[in-house]
Amino acid sequence: MLTALMLLAVPAIVPLPRSLTVLPGTYALPQHVAVRAASAAERNVAAFTERFLRKRGIAVRIVREGAPAQIRLNGAAKDGALGAEGYHLRVDSSGIEIDANGGPGLFYGLQTLEQLVPASGAPAIRDIDIRDVPAFAWRGIHLDVSRHFFPVSVVERYINVAAHYKLNVFHWHLTDDQGWRIQIQRYPRLTSVGACRSGSEVDHDPALSDGIRYCGYYTQDQIRQVVAYAARRYVTVVPEIEMPGHSAAAIAAYPYLGCTGKQIPVSVSWGGSDAICPTPRAIRFEENVLSEIMQLFPSKYIHTGGDEVLFGQWKRSAFVTALMKRKHLQTYPQVQGYFERRIERFIRSKGRIMVGWDEILNGGVSRSAVVMSWRGTAGGARAARRGNDTVMSPDGPLYLSWGQGDPADEPPASCCVDTPQMVYAFNPIPPGLTPQQAKHIIGVQGNMWTEWVPTASHLFYMLLPRELALAEDAWTPEYEKNWSSFEARTGPQYLWLEAHGYNFRIPNPSFTIDAPQLSFAGVSPSVRTIQAYTRGPDVTVTLTDDVPGAAIHYTLDGSTPSARSLVYGAPLRYALKPNETVDVTAVAVLPDGRVSTPSELLLARR
């Protein structure tokens, strides 16, 4: 366990390792490095090692077992304490050694090593000993490509940054009311019809649409490409095929799936639509689709949605009324449960496990299904008490489609404010669970819904840096987490993100107020303004920003600063008169010209 004193000296590693000992001395990587790798997993990780070091100007050759090497990969450690994904990384005068029980641990050890190598200058690494294992088996990141479609290149970059921070599940939301995004050979109209809509909402007013035809889907070859790309990084791709709700795109392609049998359009506006009718023909359709899905995705988990099912057409359907009478179903959630149990039995017959949003509990799925808790944490707690394995992905702290600050300063977002600190504060284990029940919380996941995220630049802005906080939620035990330590360790991560071309939200400059008679300091609801009052005249204001190399510019009249505004170089000192107010507004400006959203300090003597 890392003590508070140790946390102050922790190298800039995200997520925080379980056990870390800084040793005396440093190891300087030579210009020519041999990497020892014998097994297939070792050679896979060695290829990533070579790629990483080549960018630092270091020549790499991969050698077989027994050959002398500066970097030694051992994927057959047979160390029970490391489990399937843990690693032991040691750097000393003899070089660098990563031990693990397989490829995942080796890969995660390499990600830690990469963070230890300075971003610039001589590639000297402090001597260190790290033993590390994850807190949760499911460390997920979700991407909705139905509302807005992203090409394979963007999806792979999305996976790459997740893998670097030791997330291991990519939840790919492939179908919804607004578009069917995966080729199914048995049902070609799913993509010829279901992959296109006649427009998209362009404002928060649902009546508005830009009227431009919007299309996109992945071929099965592209799906295989992404799955293989993720597998090399030890990321499991979990596909989601929404049913029975959120299925307008499927019904538009094959109207018999709806209870009316009538043609409907692929949805243009965001929100839900009527559900697939639970007829034998519709269930066979879902089983046939899932058969092709399971040929493309080796994941043992198959996500089938199950959220926000609208029952309007079911209530007017003679078939559903007869089904309820025949099966002794009293409510429409029980009808949904009937549908989902049929689908679950089919998935189990193929040796896979069904995953669904927490509404699936209402109809009574079996205890073998995995529940994903999105409507807060109550559904996850209920599932864990029931004995279902559960992934915590609640709206609010783990909805990365929410805004990150004052809406006036931010790009469009689906809702509300969710800062990195709010993400970091999330504890995946709900209170009140017994230790046995808590074991059913198998993981944590951040969700990225893309109704208001139309471009790759916007996507990564919403993702980063909050994904780093998510990674620590997923990897680091709650009792080891420390926000001050995390904040200090994120600075160098921005350099990695910049070097790899990722757009990210630049942190707002932060204020530290030193006033002997400070009477109040608090953040306004806008999340950008600090209001502070002092009873005495002497005040010192210090400005800081987390991104190395960023310049802070500020104004003193409340106006928004630019790169031409005053440059912060030293703490600001004031001798306030009674009732005098100082209005300091600051932004961080990166060397490439990107500017953060502003932070404002309203300081008054009262």
Q: pLDDT tens across 129-144, in order? A: 999 999 999 999 999 9
Provide mean pLDDT across the span 436-444: 98
pLDDT at position 524 over 70: no
Provide mean pLDDT across the span 566-575: 95
Number of Cβ atoms within 10 Å of the Cβ of 8: 12
Task: Read off the pTM.
Answer: 0.95
Does residue 221 contact residue 229 with C-beta atoms inside 8 Å? no
At 3 the pLDDT is 45
Does residue 15 contact residue 166 with C-beta atoms inside 8 Å? yes
At 1 the pLDDT is 47
Query: Which of 176, 201, 242, 467 is an active site residue?
Result: 176
Name the 3-class secondary structure at 144.
strand
Q: Is 308 a catalytic residue?
A: yes
Tell me the Ramachandran region of residue 216: left when phi exceeds 0, alpha when psi lies from -120 to 50, beta otherwise: left
The residue to which tokens 């909705």 are assigned? 144
Q: Is the preceding omega at residue 15 within 30 degrees of 0, hence cis?
A: yes
Distance (Å, rounded) from C-alpha 128 to C-alpha 22? 5
Structure tokens at 10: 């922790």
Distance of alpha carbon 34 from the chain centroid: 34
Burial of 351 (0-12, 13-18, 19+ CB in 10 A): exposed
Structure tokens at 449: 């819904």
At 377 the pLDDT is 96
Backbone angles phi, psi at 146, to 5 degrees: -80, -50
Distance (Å, rounded) from C-alpha 535 to C-alpha 512? 17
Name the 3-class secondary structure at 89.
strand
Computed over every residue of the chain, the mean pLDDT equals: 93
Interhelix angle for 280-296 vs 332-349, to 10°?
40
At 6 the pLDDT is 47
Provide mean pLDDT across the span 31-41: 96
Provide mean pLDDT across the span 301-329: 96
Name the 3-class secondary structure at 8.
helix
Domain boundaries, given as residue ranges, for the chain: 19-132, 510-605
Distance of alpha carbon 149 from the chain centroid: 17
Q: How confident is the model at residue 516 (pLDDT cuts 50, 70, 90)?
A: confident
Number of Cβ atoms within 10 Å of the Cβ of 347: 22
Backbone angles phi, psi at 498, to 5 degrees: -65, -45
| pLDDT, tens only, 342-366 | 999 999 999 999 999 999 998 888 8
At 525 the pLDDT is 55
Query: Which of 127, 287, 292, 308 is an active site residue?
Result: 308
Structure tokens at 155: 């999806």
| pLDDT, tens only, 41-72 | 999 999 999 999 999 999 999 999 889 999 99
Query: Which of 148, 173, 246, 553 is an active site residue?
Result: 246
Distance (Å, rounded) from C-alpha 474 to C-alpha 465? 15
Virtual CA dihedral for 267, 269, 270, 273, nearest 10 degrees? -40
Name the 3-class secondary structure at 294.
helix
Percent of the chain with pLDDT over 90: 84
Provide mean pLDDT across the span 282-290: 98
The residue to which tokens 């243009």 are assigned? 268
pLDDT at position 93 over 70: yes
End-to-end CA distance of the chain: 45
Q: How confident is the model at residue 431 (pLDDT cuts 50, 70, 90)?
A: very high
| pLDDT, tens only, 210-251 | 678 899 999 999 999 999 999 999 999 999 999 999 999 999
Provide mean pLDDT across the span 449-463: 96
Name the 3-class secondary structure at 226.
helix
Q: Is 480 a catalytic residue?
A: no
Smallest Cα–Cα separation from 355: which of 285, 393, 307, 305?
Answer: 305
Q: How confident is the model at residue 424 (pLDDT cuts 50, 70, 90)?
A: very high
According to CATH, what is the number of the domain 19-132?
Answer: 3.30.379.10
According to CATH, what is the number of the domain 510-605?
Answer: 2.60.40
Burial of 122 (0-12, 13-18, 19+ CB in 10 A): exposed
Does residue 152 contact residue 218 with C-beta atoms inside 8 Å? yes
Starting at the edge strand that comes first in sequence, how are the strands of the sheet with 551-555 ordered?
Answer: 518-523, 529-534, 599-605, 581-589, 551-555, 566-567
